A and B are shown apart, each in its own frame.
Chain A
Amino acid sequence: MTDTVAHAQGSPEQTQPFSELGLKPDEYERIREILDRRPTSAELAMYSVMWSEHCSYKSSKVHLRQFGDKKPETDVLLVGIGENAGVVDIGDGWAVTFKVESHNHPSYVEPYQGAATGVGGIVRDILSMGARPVAVMDPLRFGPLDAADTRRVLPGVVAGIGGYGNCLGLPNIGGEVVFDESYLGNPLVNALCIGAMRHEDIHLASAKGVGNLVVLYGARTGGDGIGGVSVLASETFSEGGPTKRPSVQVGDPFMEKLLIEATLEVLQAGLVEGIQDLGGAGISCATSELASNGEGGMHVWLDRVPLRDASLSPEEILMSESQERMCAIVTPANLDAFLVLCRKWDVEAVVMGEVNASGRLTVDWHGERIVDVPPRTVAHEGPVYERPYARPDWQDALQADGPDDLPRPTSPADLRATLLAMVAAPNLASKSWVTSQYDRYVLGNTVLAQPEDSGMVRIDEVTGRGVAVSTDCNGRFAKLDPYEGARLALAESYRNVAATGAVPLAVTNCLNFGSPEDPSVMWQFAEATRGLADGCLELGIPVTGGNVSFYNQTGGNAILPTPVVGVLGVIDDVDRRTPMAWGPDGELIYVLGDTRDEFAGSEWAHHVHGHLGGRPPALDLARERLLAEVLVAGSRDGMLTAAHDVSDGGVAQTVVEMALRAGVGARCWVPDGLTPFSFLFSESASRAVVVVARSEELRFTEMCQARGLPAHRVGVVDSGLGADAGFAPGTQVLQVGDLFTVSLDELRQAHEGTIPAALSA
């Protein structure tokens, strides 16, 4: 029997399965207070998914407010936090929107579909702003490379991202692949999408205009992903617990491609008043958010929803997270034209509801009223928690346990061996096994893609205006000090964008943490958000939006706090981008910034010693800003042949990557005042390696000097060193002072061999 509103009024004592749906007793009581009766089972379904951690941000909201409160003075933000994605003005009438979302839990349960639908979801978010999606990126984190479960999860995730993204026709231009013990059992699969549009094409998710129609279009609704947000994303996995595969959605990228094209055509034709994608919490989310953002109310005839499985109950239809569905608000006059364009793309569309002036969201099922609620209480007035937080009692001991006593290589042979071991370390090794499974060419506008510092796409084919995006986070730094760790992640991403010649403009984030019910985790979260907000204010770039993923822990073990930061930059002409491969013989290699003896949280301490302790590298964001200005000016004035940021693995890693990308060797030397070890492997912040032609050297160093940025000449590109060093003539080698020489072939073998060897075993 259908649990109608009338029935609910008459049966206040009926017990309801609120805790199975993830609601706490006091949350259930609050629903009863709002409605002044018990909720119907359909209403309970809606509240449970919308009040889940994933949808309501109930634990994070009080902290995320800082991104608005501390927003820097900016005129680049066309649409701010709170919409599906923020929108940034990149000039010439172009607007760009970008956002990252997590699909961590589904990707652990079912790697292929979890990762695939993560791509699908973020693409629809971008689409629902009115933008054409132009590129995707995927920051990924897994357990140790040699762990059995990593060999299950990683290939599945990569195949899922490729299988879905490649079929959508969106170039995958970057991201990260990071390995750490703490991600074993809690892989992080974050997906980022970038979209572009003209200013006048921005659309928002609101249901305005009494009498306008609510059109549901795209795939049919099925039983997949029911309760995904509440059951999966908002609960800690318990060891030995039931697998949760029925809560993972199944994706159809072909349907999504048709949905993209149909959506862009109806937007282009001016047939849409408001638009919203259906992702987490499905129809519950789309209808309540559209109605809540609108001015009146909304009525939905739920039995009109096309179903893949006719046996679904209304509660299941409201909660289903079936993929590839969108919801549009269309005037009655435009309906026919809307339906014609949907038919052109073989996309099914039905009028599911109507905007009205009731101030309520009402849902009928075969003539019976099953939902009657104030939409804001579902979508925007969910519970807000001031979760208790406390600095963990182990934090002091962790910070006191610095890396200074770890044995360091000093002999030339040991330094050489360390270099080869480092470039082959899973976190520093080439990720081409992963990225070669992604299409980076489609759409024909990819200017830079992995392994470059940031992905860069051309937005305007006539003027060459484009954008660059990078995502970064070193979770080890964040564990040592979450405040500084978040600022360091921001600084690295900012630097990566500037290294390619683009001006950093705006920030998005994906905050991956353990259980918010653990005060230590909540402290990490509070510190990281505070650090990120302060950092953005200092750098003068606003946060446009983001995503929070909690409960990334198995049992009592939380992941490294992982605030992934994405920075978007604009470049007025992509033709002047700075690549990472250096040019011909004779060009000069400079390290910009100060190198200090900083190894806490470094890849060397991690890979060679399995050590994590101390305080992360010092960060001065004024210096970071100066470095970025020099990198951009160097690109704009044509002084730089190449640039590459220095981060994980230090200068050694940066120089090796540049050499391998170019296939040309170099002679380097250790600057005065530094030990070879510190020079090669320290991870001091705010540094980059740049390469300048001899003809530009004076102009460049004078600029650095005038602006107060230290620039140290540390090498020269040289393809002719092989023979003198005892190799076959023509062999490309890297020579480090009089310490050691190593061929690029040997470096390449070490750098490129690690991941294929581990995954094909």
Chain B
Amino acid sequence: MTRIGVVTFPGSLDDRDAARAVRLAGGEPVALWHGDDDLHGVDAVVLPGGFSYGDYLRCGAIARFAPVMSTLVDAARGGLPVLGICNGFQILCETHLLPGALTRNDSLHFICRDQRLRIESTDSAWTADYQVGDEIVIPLKNGEGGFVADESTLDALEGEGRVVARYLEVNPNGSRRDIAGIRNERGNVVGLMPHPEHAVELLTGPSADGLPFFTSILRSLVGAA
């Protein structure tokens, strides 16, 4: 079975949810520990949401120095699929696996809402099971989710089709160009501010629209094997 690692940092909150999503998609979740630089042979990694290291200094700024990250950054540069959700997205930006940064919501409030998104790119390991233009509703919950980058970076992200998802109807946090998620050039690393792992069961989520993030990676790994 395809093994997907889920990293727990001190202060990670959605690690159990990410593991559940992997399981419901048909994969085997593997718990990875921040202090262990061994990835235990996993086929892909999810950096879950939460407040790693209490968000001290700056969201994700301390997590990037965790032992697990040194290995993970190299592996990601070598093509290992990595999905960073919320705090995980912040960590990916801090490690420069993805460009830009996440800043305080323009409302200055933490916000939790069912957010409508449009899938903009299926050209990544984590979004292949969607169609471009799909509209999905998944939870968004963050205090510092405003995506910012300089204009040339934003132009490049858009020009190269590296915007993975955009906010529809409401831009909840002041993200530039309504960007909710992006990918790296190769498409193996994706950062997403909303939470697909909270939308994998109709019983507990606003929809099951988040599940394809997790089935996408399983399918792309099986295809590659």
Contact = CB atoms under 8 A, between A and B. Distances in A.
The judgment on whether A and B are partners is: yes
B162 interface: no
A438 B110 CA distance: 7
Interface in A422-454: 435-447
Contacts of A168: 13
A346 B203 contact: no
A441 B141 contact: yes
A445 B197 CA distance: 12
Contacts of B10: 254, 257-258, 345-346
By CB atoms of chain A within 10 A, which of B49, B54, B112 has the most? B112
A348 interface: no
Contacts of A169: 13-14, 50
A461 B204 CA distance: 11
A272 B107 CA distance: 45
A167 B51 contact: yes
A465 to B, nearest CB: 13
A162 interface: yes
Contacts of B14: 169, 442
Interface residues of B, number: 30
B203 A575 contact: yes
A436 B113 contact: yes
Contact of B17 (A166, A167, A444, A458): A444
Interface string B34-55: 0000000000000001110111
* Chain A interface residue number, banded: 20 to 34
A437 B54 contact: no
Given A167-B11, A447-B203, A458-B203, A159 B109 contact: yes
Contacts of B139: 441
Contacts, number: 84
Nearest to B52: A254
A436 B203 contact: no
Given A167-B51, A254-B10, A439-B141, A444 B198 contact: yes
Contact of B110 (A163, A253, A346, A445): A163
A666 to B, nearest CB: 23
Interface string B125-163: 000000000000001010100000000000000000000
B13 A253 contact: no
B57 to A, nearest CB: 12
B20 interface: yes
Contact of B20 (A255, A435, A444, A574): A444
Interface string B160-203: 00000000000000000000000000000000000101101101
A436 B111 contact: yes
A303 interface: no
B58 interface: no
B122 to A, nearest CB: 25
A162 to B, nearest CB: 5
A252 interface: yes
B118 interface: no
B56 interface: yes
B100 interface: no
Contacts of B50: 169
A252 B109 CA distance: 19
B112 A438 contact: yes
Contact of A254 (B54, B141, B200, B203): B54
A254 B16 contact: no
A436 B16 contact: no
Given A159-B109, A167-B11, A443 B51 contact: no
B51 A439 contact: no
B16 A443 contact: yes
Nearest to A464: B203
B205 interface: yes
Given A254-B54, A436-B111, A437-B112, A444 B197 contact: yes
Nearest to A446: B204
A30 B17 CA distance: 55
Interface string B1-21: 000000000110110110010
Contacts of A575: 203
Interface string B93-126: 0000000000000000111110000000000000
Nearest to A466: B203
By CB atoms of chain B within 10 A, which of A252, A255, A258, A445 has the most? A445
A439 B54 contact: no
Nearest to A440: B112
A441 B203 contact: no
A30 to B, nearest CB: 45
By CB atoms of chain B within 10 A, which of A159, A345, A444, A447 has the most? A444
Interface string A248-264: 00001111011000000
A436 B17 CA distance: 20
A458 B204 contact: yes
Contact of A444 (B112, B113, B141, B204): B204
B204 A252 contact: no
Contacts of B53: 254
Nearest to A172: B112
Given A166-B141, A257-B11, A442-B17, A574 B203 contact: yes
B7 to A, nearest CB: 15
Contacts of A574: 203
B204 to A, nearest CB: 6
Given A166-B141, A169-B14, A441 B205 contact: yes
Contacts of A438: 110, 112
Contacts of A252: 54
Nearest to B113: A436
B204 A445 contact: yes
A259 to B, nearest CB: 11
A573 to B, nearest CB: 10
B188 to A, nearest CB: 26
B65 to A, nearest CB: 14
A345 B35 CA distance: 10
Contact of A437 (B55, B109, B198): B109
Nearest to B53: A254
A575 B10 CA distance: 33
A441 B11 contact: no
By CB atoms of chain A within 10 A, which of B11, B141, B195, B204 has the most? B204
A759 B225 CA distance: 56
A159 B143 CA distance: 11
A316 to B, nearest CB: 26
Contacts of A443: 16-17
Nearest to B15: A169
A446 B20 CA distance: 14
A573 B205 CA distance: 17
A445 B139 CA distance: 14
Given A444-B17, A446-B204, A167 B54 contact: yes
By CB atoms of chain A within 10 A, which of B10, B20, B56 has the most? B10
A167 B11 CA distance: 7
Contacts of B200: 444
A254 B51 CA distance: 8
| Closest 9 pairs (CB-CB, A-B) | A254-B54, A169-B13, A444-B17, A441-B198, A441-B139, A167-B51, A439-B141, A162-B110, A437-B110
Interface of A: 159, 162-163, 166-169, 252-255, 257-258, 345-346, 435-447, 458, 461, 574-575
Interface of B: 10-11, 13-14, 16-17, 20, 49-51, 53-56, 109-113, 139, 141, 143, 195, 197-198, 200-201, 203-205
Given A254-B10, A254-B11, A258-B11, 14 more contacts: A159-B109, A162-B109, A162-B110, A254-B51, A254-B54, A254-B56, A435-B112, A441-B17, A442-B49, A443-B16, A444-B16, A444-B198, A447-B203, A575-B203
30 contacts: A163-B110, A166-B141, A167-B11, A167-B51, A167-B54, A169-B14, A253-B51, A254-B55, A257-B51, A346-B10, A437-B109, A439-B110, A439-B112, A439-B141, A440-B112, A441-B17, A441-B112, A441-B204, A441-B205, A442-B14, A442-B141, A442-B198, A443-B17, A444-B16, A444-B17, A444-B197, A445-B204, A458-B204, A461-B20, A575-B203
